[in-house]
Protein backbone atom coordinates (compact mmCIF):
# COMPACT_ATOMS: atom_id res chain seq x y z
CA UNK A 1 0.00 0.00 0.00
CA UNK A 2 2.85 2.39 0.83
CA UNK A 3 4.41 1.72 -2.55
CA UNK A 4 1.17 2.76 -4.23
CA UNK A 5 1.31 6.06 -2.42
CA UNK A 6 4.83 6.61 -3.71
CA UNK A 7 3.39 6.55 -7.21
CA UNK A 8 1.26 9.50 -6.16
CA UNK A 9 4.36 11.39 -5.14
CA UNK A 10 5.98 10.65 -8.49
CA UNK A 11 2.95 12.12 -10.21
CA UNK A 12 3.05 15.18 -8.00
CA UNK A 13 6.71 15.66 -8.83
CA UNK A 14 5.95 15.80 -12.53
CA UNK A 15 3.20 18.38 -12.11
CA UNK A 16 4.85 20.49 -9.45
CA UNK A 17 8.26 20.64 -11.09
CA UNK A 18 6.73 21.73 -14.37
CA UNK A 19 5.29 24.77 -12.64
CA UNK A 20 7.66 25.45 -9.78
CA UNK A 21 11.10 25.29 -11.37
CA UNK A 22 10.02 27.10 -14.53
CA UNK A 23 8.38 29.84 -12.48
CA UNK A 24 11.18 30.29 -9.96
CA UNK A 25 14.01 30.37 -12.44
CA UNK A 26 12.42 31.77 -15.59
CA UNK A 27 9.40 33.79 -14.45
CA UNK A 28 5.78 33.68 -15.45
CA UNK A 29 6.32 34.91 -19.02
CA UNK A 30 8.82 32.20 -19.85
CA UNK A 31 6.57 29.69 -18.11
CA UNK A 32 3.80 30.70 -20.48
CA UNK A 33 6.12 30.30 -23.44
CA UNK A 34 7.11 26.85 -22.24
CA UNK A 35 3.64 25.55 -21.41
CA UNK A 36 0.99 27.42 -23.43
CA UNK A 37 0.20 25.70 -26.75
CA UNK A 38 0.92 27.68 -29.89
CA UNK A 39 -1.36 25.56 -32.05
CA UNK A 40 -4.91 26.52 -32.92
CA UNK A 41 -7.70 24.88 -31.00
CA UNK A 42 -8.96 21.63 -32.50
CA UNK A 43 -12.73 21.30 -32.54
CA UNK A 44 -13.48 18.14 -30.60
CA UNK A 45 -16.04 15.58 -31.60
CA UNK A 46 -19.07 14.70 -29.49
CA UNK A 47 -18.40 13.80 -25.83
CA UNK A 48 -17.06 10.36 -25.05
CA UNK A 49 -19.39 7.38 -24.76
CA UNK A 50 -19.39 6.87 -21.00
CA UNK A 51 -21.35 3.66 -21.23
CA UNK A 52 -17.90 2.24 -22.04
CA UNK A 53 -16.14 1.06 -18.85
CA UNK A 54 -12.72 1.90 -20.32
CA UNK A 55 -13.54 5.63 -20.24
CA UNK A 56 -13.57 5.54 -16.46
CA UNK A 57 -10.43 5.78 -14.36
CA UNK A 58 -12.42 4.54 -11.39
CA UNK A 59 -15.78 2.81 -11.09
CA UNK A 60 -17.05 0.10 -8.73
CA UNK A 61 -16.51 -2.75 -11.20
CA UNK A 62 -13.03 -1.67 -12.37
CA UNK A 63 -10.20 -4.12 -11.62
CA UNK A 64 -7.34 -2.37 -9.88
CA UNK A 65 -9.52 0.64 -9.09
CA UNK A 66 -7.02 3.36 -8.00
CA UNK A 67 -9.65 5.06 -5.83
CA UNK A 68 -9.64 2.01 -3.53
CA UNK A 69 -6.12 2.71 -2.26
CA UNK A 70 -5.86 3.36 1.49
CA UNK A 71 -2.95 3.89 3.88
CA UNK A 72 -2.18 1.37 6.61
CA UNK A 73 -4.96 1.24 9.18
CA UNK A 74 -7.76 2.00 6.73
CA UNK A 75 -9.65 0.02 4.15
CA UNK A 76 -12.47 0.78 1.71
CA UNK A 77 -15.97 0.13 2.96
CA UNK A 78 -17.78 -2.85 1.48
CA UNK A 79 -20.75 -1.66 -0.56
CA UNK A 80 -20.85 1.79 1.04
CA UNK A 81 -24.21 3.59 0.79
CA UNK A 82 -23.25 6.70 -1.21
CA UNK A 83 -22.11 7.23 -4.79
CA UNK A 84 -19.11 9.52 -5.35
CA UNK A 85 -18.48 11.45 -8.57
CA UNK A 86 -14.86 12.63 -8.57
CA UNK A 87 -13.26 14.89 -11.20
CA UNK A 88 -9.45 14.69 -11.16
CA UNK A 89 -7.08 17.67 -11.51
CA UNK A 90 -4.92 18.54 -14.51
CA UNK A 91 -2.58 15.74 -15.50
CA UNK A 92 -1.96 16.70 -19.16
CA UNK A 93 1.23 18.76 -19.59
CA UNK A 94 1.71 18.64 -23.36
CA UNK A 95 1.89 21.99 -25.18
CA UNK A 96 1.31 20.40 -28.60
CA UNK A 97 -2.46 20.32 -28.00
CA UNK A 98 -5.02 22.24 -25.96
CA UNK A 99 -6.91 19.11 -24.86
CA UNK A 100 -5.75 15.67 -23.82
CA UNK A 101 -6.88 12.73 -25.95
CA UNK A 102 -8.95 10.27 -23.95
CA UNK A 103 -6.34 7.63 -24.76
CA UNK A 104 -3.31 9.66 -23.63
CA UNK A 105 -1.43 7.10 -21.54
CA UNK A 106 0.77 9.54 -19.63
CA UNK A 107 -2.09 11.85 -18.66
CA UNK A 108 -4.29 8.93 -17.61
CA UNK A 109 -1.48 7.37 -15.57
CA UNK A 110 -0.92 10.64 -13.69
CA UNK A 111 -4.66 11.01 -13.15
CA UNK A 112 -4.77 7.56 -11.55
CA UNK A 113 -2.00 8.64 -9.20
CA UNK A 114 -4.09 11.57 -8.08
CA UNK A 115 -7.08 9.34 -7.46
CA UNK A 116 -5.02 7.29 -5.01
CA UNK A 117 -4.12 10.35 -2.96
CA UNK A 118 -7.39 12.29 -3.30
CA UNK A 119 -10.46 10.29 -4.31
CA UNK A 120 -9.40 7.52 -1.91
CA UNK A 121 -10.51 9.74 0.98
CA UNK A 122 -14.11 9.04 -0.04
CA UNK A 123 -14.03 5.24 -0.39
CA UNK A 124 -15.25 4.80 3.18
CA UNK A 125 -18.50 6.61 2.37
CA UNK A 126 -19.27 5.74 -1.21
CA UNK A 127 -18.57 3.84 -4.40
CA UNK A 128 -16.28 6.04 -6.50
CA UNK A 129 -16.72 6.91 -10.17
CA UNK A 130 -14.03 9.09 -11.83
CA UNK A 131 -14.07 9.65 -15.60
CA UNK A 132 -11.30 10.11 -18.09
CA UNK A 133 -12.01 13.40 -19.81
CA UNK A 134 -10.38 15.50 -22.50
CA UNK A 135 -8.95 17.87 -19.92
CA UNK A 136 -7.46 21.23 -20.86
CA UNK A 137 -3.67 21.22 -20.81
CA UNK A 138 -1.75 22.82 -17.96
CA UNK A 139 -0.85 25.80 -20.14
CA UNK A 140 -4.52 26.74 -20.54
CA UNK A 141 -4.40 28.14 -17.01
CA UNK A 142 -1.51 30.47 -17.85
CA UNK A 143 -3.17 32.51 -20.58
CA UNK A 144 -6.30 34.47 -21.37
CA UNK A 145 -6.34 33.30 -24.99
CA UNK A 146 -9.74 32.35 -26.36
CA UNK A 147 -8.34 28.90 -27.13
CA UNK A 148 -7.90 28.31 -23.41
CA UNK A 149 -11.57 29.06 -22.73
CA UNK A 150 -12.58 26.77 -25.60
CA UNK A 151 -10.33 24.00 -24.28
CA UNK A 152 -12.00 24.19 -20.88
CA UNK A 153 -15.43 24.16 -22.53
CA UNK A 154 -14.51 21.01 -24.46
CA UNK A 155 -13.25 19.35 -21.28
CA UNK A 156 -16.44 20.23 -19.45
CA UNK A 157 -18.60 18.60 -22.14
CA UNK A 158 -16.95 15.27 -21.31
CA UNK A 159 -17.42 15.78 -17.57
CA UNK A 160 -21.09 16.59 -18.09
CA UNK A 161 -21.64 13.51 -20.27
CA UNK A 162 -19.85 11.34 -17.72
CA UNK A 163 -21.97 12.72 -14.90
CA UNK A 164 -25.20 11.98 -16.75
CA UNK A 165 -24.07 8.37 -17.20
CA UNK A 166 -22.98 8.22 -13.56
CA UNK A 167 -26.52 9.16 -12.50
CA UNK A 168 -27.91 6.25 -14.51
CA UNK A 169 -25.52 3.75 -12.93
CA UNK A 170 -25.47 5.06 -9.36
CA UNK A 171 -29.13 4.28 -8.73
CA UNK A 172 -30.92 6.14 -5.96
CA UNK A 173 -27.90 6.49 -3.67
CA UNK A 174 -27.01 9.70 -1.86
CA UNK A 175 -24.37 11.54 -3.92
CA UNK A 176 -21.03 13.05 -2.95
CA UNK A 177 -19.47 15.39 -5.51
CA UNK A 178 -15.73 16.04 -5.31
CA UNK A 179 -12.90 17.37 -7.42
CA UNK A 180 -9.62 19.21 -7.33
CA UNK A 181 -8.13 22.11 -9.29
CA UNK A 182 -9.37 21.85 -12.91
CA UNK A 183 -11.71 19.13 -11.71
CA UNK A 184 -13.16 21.48 -9.11
CA UNK A 185 -13.65 24.17 -11.78
CA UNK A 186 -15.70 21.74 -13.85
CA UNK A 187 -17.57 20.75 -10.70
CA UNK A 188 -18.74 24.35 -10.19
CA UNK A 189 -20.22 24.38 -13.70
CA UNK A 190 -21.82 21.01 -13.04
CA UNK A 191 -23.49 22.39 -9.94
CA UNK A 192 -24.95 25.26 -11.97
CA UNK A 193 -26.16 23.03 -14.81
CA UNK A 194 -27.30 19.87 -13.05
CA UNK A 195 -27.93 20.68 -9.38
CA UNK A 196 -29.10 24.27 -8.93
CA UNK A 197 -32.90 24.37 -8.85
CA UNK A 198 -33.18 20.66 -9.71
CA UNK A 199 -34.63 17.76 -7.66
CA UNK A 200 -31.13 16.24 -7.69
CA UNK A 201 -30.05 18.84 -5.14
CA UNK A 202 -31.92 16.90 -2.45
CA UNK A 203 -29.64 13.87 -3.00
CA UNK A 204 -26.35 15.73 -2.54
CA UNK A 205 -24.52 14.87 0.68
CA UNK A 206 -21.86 17.52 0.03
CA UNK A 207 -19.77 19.01 -2.79
CA UNK A 208 -16.02 19.24 -2.20
CA UNK A 209 -14.86 22.03 -4.53
CA UNK A 210 -11.22 21.93 -3.47
CA UNK A 211 -8.25 23.81 -4.92
CA UNK A 212 -10.36 26.25 -6.92
CA UNK A 213 -11.58 29.66 -5.66
CA UNK A 214 -15.32 30.13 -5.13
CA UNK A 215 -16.51 33.71 -4.69
CA UNK A 216 -19.05 34.03 -1.90
CA UNK A 217 -20.93 36.76 -3.77
CA UNK A 218 -20.15 36.28 -7.47
CA UNK A 219 -20.31 32.45 -7.63
CA UNK A 220 -22.02 30.82 -4.65
CA UNK A 221 -25.56 32.18 -5.23
CA UNK A 222 -25.71 30.33 -8.56
CA UNK A 223 -24.27 26.98 -7.46
CA UNK A 224 -27.56 25.70 -6.05
CA UNK A 225 -26.13 24.72 -2.66
CA UNK A 226 -25.08 26.90 0.28
CA UNK A 227 -21.66 26.93 1.88
CA UNK A 228 -21.43 24.36 4.67
CA UNK A 229 -22.00 26.17 7.95
CA UNK A 230 -21.12 23.27 10.24
CA UNK A 231 -19.64 19.76 10.32
CA UNK A 232 -22.99 17.93 10.33
CA UNK A 233 -24.69 19.94 7.59
CA UNK A 234 -25.61 18.24 4.32
CA UNK A 235 -26.46 19.49 0.85
CA UNK A 236 -23.70 22.10 1.01
CA UNK A 237 -20.34 23.10 -0.47
CA UNK A 238 -16.83 22.92 1.01
CA UNK A 239 -13.79 24.63 -0.52
CA UNK A 240 -10.24 25.51 0.53
CA UNK A 241 -6.83 26.45 -0.88
CA UNK A 242 -3.78 25.62 1.22
CA UNK A 243 -0.82 27.95 1.94
CA UNK A 244 1.88 28.16 4.58
CA UNK A 245 3.18 31.35 6.19
CA UNK A 246 4.16 33.71 4.69
CA UNK A 247 1.64 33.20 1.90
CA UNK A 248 1.60 34.94 -1.45
CA UNK A 249 -1.63 33.99 -3.27
CA UNK A 250 -1.16 36.64 -5.95
CA UNK A 251 -0.73 34.08 -8.73
CA UNK A 252 -4.26 32.90 -7.95
CA UNK A 253 -5.86 36.19 -7.03
CA UNK A 254 -4.50 38.14 -10.01
CA UNK A 255 -6.33 35.84 -12.42
CA UNK A 256 -9.37 35.43 -10.16
CA UNK A 257 -9.82 39.19 -9.86
CA UNK A 258 -9.86 39.67 -13.62
CA UNK A 259 -12.88 37.40 -14.09
CA UNK A 260 -16.62 37.51 -13.51
CA UNK A 261 -18.54 34.92 -11.53
CA UNK A 262 -21.59 32.83 -12.34
CA UNK A 263 -23.83 35.71 -11.23
CA UNK A 264 -22.22 37.95 -13.82
CA UNK A 265 -20.70 40.12 -11.09
CA UNK A 266 -16.94 40.81 -10.97
CA UNK A 267 -14.96 38.58 -8.62
CA UNK A 268 -12.43 41.32 -7.89
CA UNK A 269 -12.05 41.89 -4.18
CA UNK A 270 -14.80 39.44 -3.22
CA UNK A 271 -14.34 36.98 -0.33
CA UNK A 272 -13.70 33.33 -1.20
CA UNK A 273 -15.27 30.34 0.46
CA UNK A 274 -12.87 28.84 2.99
CA UNK A 275 -13.90 25.68 4.82
CA UNK A 276 -11.52 24.41 7.46
CA UNK A 277 -11.07 20.71 6.49
CA UNK A 278 -10.06 19.83 10.05
CA UNK A 279 -13.39 20.94 11.54
CA UNK A 280 -15.81 21.18 8.61
CA UNK A 281 -16.60 24.76 9.64
CA UNK A 282 -16.20 27.92 7.54
CA UNK A 283 -13.68 30.61 8.47
CA UNK A 284 -12.46 28.49 11.36
CA UNK A 285 -9.10 28.12 13.09
CA UNK A 286 -7.79 25.04 14.90
CA UNK A 287 -4.44 23.61 15.94
CA UNK A 288 -2.62 20.58 14.57
CA UNK A 289 -4.04 18.43 17.38
CA UNK A 290 -7.28 18.32 15.37
CA UNK A 291 -5.55 16.78 12.35
CA UNK A 292 -6.54 13.10 12.30
CA UNK A 293 -3.85 12.29 9.78
CA UNK A 294 -2.23 13.56 6.61
CA UNK A 295 -0.41 11.50 4.00
CA UNK A 296 3.36 11.92 4.26
CA UNK A 297 6.14 10.05 2.42
CA UNK A 298 9.47 9.21 4.00
CA UNK A 299 12.50 11.32 3.06
CA UNK A 300 13.87 8.63 0.76
CA UNK A 301 10.41 7.89 -0.71
CA UNK A 302 10.66 4.21 0.26
CA UNK A 303 7.53 4.31 2.43
CA UNK A 304 4.55 6.44 3.35
CA UNK A 305 2.63 6.95 6.55
CA UNK A 306 -0.50 8.65 7.77
CA UNK A 307 0.81 11.09 10.35
CA UNK A 308 -1.53 12.57 12.95
CA UNK A 309 -1.24 16.22 13.99
CA UNK A 310 0.48 16.96 10.69
CA UNK A 311 -0.52 20.62 10.24
CA UNK A 312 -2.94 23.12 11.76
CA UNK A 313 -5.46 25.02 9.66
CA UNK A 314 -6.97 28.48 9.82
CA UNK A 315 -8.95 30.54 7.33
CA UNK A 316 -7.78 34.10 6.96
CA UNK A 317 -7.92 37.14 4.69
CA UNK A 318 -10.19 36.79 1.68
CA UNK A 319 -10.46 33.05 2.20
CA UNK A 320 -7.05 31.38 2.16
CA UNK A 321 -6.42 28.28 4.28
CA UNK A 322 -3.20 28.70 6.25
CA UNK A 323 -1.32 25.65 7.52
CA UNK A 324 1.16 27.44 9.79
CA UNK A 325 4.79 28.41 9.39
CA UNK A 326 6.39 25.01 9.91
CA UNK A 327 4.68 22.50 7.59
CA UNK A 328 6.40 19.21 6.73
CA UNK A 329 9.29 19.37 4.28
CA UNK A 330 7.77 18.37 0.96
CA UNK A 331 10.75 19.53 -1.06
CA UNK A 332 10.20 21.03 -4.51
CA UNK A 333 6.56 20.01 -4.61
CA UNK A 334 5.38 23.28 -3.06
CA UNK A 335 4.32 25.90 -5.61
CA UNK A 336 5.44 29.55 -5.59
CA UNK A 337 4.05 31.71 -2.80
CA UNK A 338 4.16 28.79 -0.31
CA UNK A 339 1.20 27.31 -2.16
CA UNK A 340 0.44 23.72 -1.06
CA UNK A 341 -2.10 23.29 -3.86
CA UNK A 342 -1.06 19.76 -4.78
CA UNK A 343 -1.53 18.68 -1.16
CA UNK A 344 -4.99 20.20 -0.59
CA UNK A 345 -6.43 16.73 0.11
CA UNK A 346 -3.45 14.75 1.38
CA UNK A 347 -2.57 17.14 4.24
CA UNK A 348 -6.04 16.49 5.70
CA UNK A 349 -6.78 13.04 4.26
CA UNK A 350 -8.22 11.41 7.41
CA UNK A 351 -10.29 14.50 8.27
CA UNK A 352 -11.77 14.65 4.78
CA UNK A 353 -12.63 10.97 5.11
CA UNK A 354 -14.29 11.51 8.48
CA UNK A 355 -16.10 14.61 7.19
CA UNK A 356 -17.66 12.71 4.28
CA UNK A 357 -18.75 9.84 6.53
CA UNK A 358 -20.19 12.22 9.13
CA UNK A 359 -22.21 14.19 6.57
CA UNK A 360 -23.43 10.95 4.97
CA UNK A 361 -24.62 9.69 8.36
CA UNK A 362 -26.56 12.94 8.86
CA UNK A 363 -28.05 12.65 5.38
CA UNK A 364 -29.21 9.07 5.88
CA UNK A 365 -31.34 10.06 8.85
CA UNK A 366 -33.77 11.49 6.31
CA UNK A 367 -33.21 8.97 3.48
CA UNK A 368 -35.05 8.11 1.30
CA UNK A 369 -37.09 11.21 0.70
Q: 0.85 cut: is pTM over it?
A: yes
229 phi, psi to nearest 5 deg: -100, -10
User: How do residues 81-96 score in pLDDT, each as one tens digit?
Assistant: 999 999 999 888 877 8
Q: How far apart are CA 348 and CA 333, in angstroms?
A: 17
214 or 39, higher pLDDT: 214
Residues 299-303 have a mean pLDDT of 46
Percentage of residues in the chain having pLDDT higher than 70: 86
- The DSSP-derived string for 254-311 is HHHTTSB-TTSSB-TT--B--EETTTTEET-EE-GGG---EEEE-TTSS-EEEETT--
Most confident of 3-7, 28-32, 105-109, 203-207: 203-207
Q: What is the pLDDT of residue 26?
A: 46
Determine the pLDDT at residue 145.
76
- What confidence tier does 137 reach under pLDDT thresholds 50, 70, 90? confident
Higher pLDDT, 108 or 43: 108
**Partners of 215 in beta bridges:** 272
pLDDT at 32: 60
DSSP-assigned letters across all residues of 110-168:
HHHHHHHHTGGGGTTTEEEEEE---PBPGGGGG---HHHHHHHHHHHHHHHHHHHHHHH
pLDDT of residue 78: 92
The predicted pLDDT at position 11 comes to 44
Quick check: 298 pLDDT over 70?
no
pLDDT digits (tens, 9 = 90+) for 10-65: 444 445 545 554 554 445 555 565 567 666 666 767 888 999 999 999 999 999 99
d(CA 323, CA 312): 5
Residue 208 pLDDT greater than 60, yes or no: yes
Q: Where are the domains of the chain?
A: 2-364
Do residues 140 and 98 lie in contact, with contact meaning Cβ atoms separated by under 8 Å?
yes
- Alpha-carbon distance of 100 to 98, in angstroms, equals 7
Q: How far apart are CA 83 and CA 204, in angstroms?
A: 10
Please tell me the predicted confidence (pLDDT) of residue 38: 67
Amino acid sequence: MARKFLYVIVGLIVLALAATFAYRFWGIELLRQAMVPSANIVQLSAPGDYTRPDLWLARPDKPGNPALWTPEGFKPAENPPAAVFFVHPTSFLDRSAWNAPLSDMAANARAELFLRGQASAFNGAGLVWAPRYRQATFGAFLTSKEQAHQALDFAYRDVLAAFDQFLKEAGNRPIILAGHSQGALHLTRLLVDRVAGKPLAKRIVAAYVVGWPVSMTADLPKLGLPACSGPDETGCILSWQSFSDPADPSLILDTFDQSSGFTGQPRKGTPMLCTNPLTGKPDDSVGAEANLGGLLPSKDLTSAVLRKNLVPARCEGRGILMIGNSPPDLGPYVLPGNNYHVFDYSLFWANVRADAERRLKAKRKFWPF
